[in-house]
Amino acid sequence: MKLTITPQAQEWFKRELELAEGQGIKFYGKVYGKTQVHDGFSVGMAVDFPENPLIEEKVADQLFFVEEADEWFFKGYDLVVDYDAKLDEPKYEFNQI
């Protein structure tokens, strides 16, 4: 799995979220919603401390990660986190590996 954060998304996270020392932005699978590859699940996001990261990506001193416990949700896909200017929020794209 590869985790990609676009510069536009990184700027949104920087503007919208405050992180304490050691915290990062965690992506996970949550019940309800829909993605391009999941019915009944959507991408959740939270400010958290990494415990058992499956993958970590550092962009401009911000940490982004997925925990091993959420491997089931991302298995077989790379995740691209981009920015939707119209909605002023992140958007997520799954690319099959």
Domain ranges of the chain: 3-96
Among 78, 51, 48, smallest CA distance to 67 is for: 51
pLDDT, one tens digit for every residue, the chain (97 residues): 999 999 999 999 999 998 988 999 999 988 776 666 767 778 899 999 999 999 999 998 899 999 999 998 899 999 999 999 999 999 999 999 9
Rounded CA gap, 58 and 73, in Å? 21
- 3-state secondary structure at position 36: coil
CATH of 3-96, one of 2.60.300.12, 3.30.43.10, 3.30.200.20, 3.30.1220.10: 2.60.300.12
- 3-state secondary structure at position 68: helix
- pTM greater than 0.85 (yes/no): yes
pLDDT at 3: 96
Rounded CA gap, 90 and 45, in Å? 10
Q: Where are the alpha helices (DSSP H) in the chain?
A: 7-16, 71-74
pLDDT at 33: 64
